[in-house]
Amino acid sequence: MADHGTRLRALWLPGCVALPVAVAVLLNALLRPRLAEHLGGIRRHHYINYRSFDGWWVFDEPTRLAHPTLTSFLELSDGAVAAAGIALAVASGILFLLVSRTRSRTQR
């Protein structure tokens, strides 16, 4: 039977991978649209093929000058935010595996 540490490690790996992707999905689905609507952004779409598209917001110059960081974040495409979440998931998964491998070697 596996010990408690092995069970926790088995749960941590999916968590390390799923959490960044979940955050990216929540950003794209909930937070970014509300922030953009609050700032008066206009939604733009770029159709990749007949089933999918990528979207972002465009702001007028006074809004960009008043909120440069926020508008820069919102002008990123949804695909870029999703790709960043996936990249972070891959990096955290690799880091988790390296740390667990290093710990198992030191415990031997």
CA distance 79 to 85: 10
Who wins on pLDDT, 84 or 7? 84
Residue 47 sits at φ, ψ, to 5 deg, of -85, 120
With CA atoms as reference, report the closest residue to 86 among 18, 35, 2.
Answer: 18
How many C-beta atoms surround the C-beta of residue 82 within 10 A? 16
Model confidence at 1, pLDDT cuts 50, 70, 90, reads very low
What residues does each domain of the chain span? 41-93
What is the pTM assigned to this prediction?
Answer: 0.80
What confidence tens digit (pLDDT) does each residue in 55-94 have?
Answer: 899 999 999 999 999 999 999 999 999 999 999 999 988 9
Cα 55 to Cα 44, 69, 89, 101: the distances in Å are: 6, 19, 22, 40
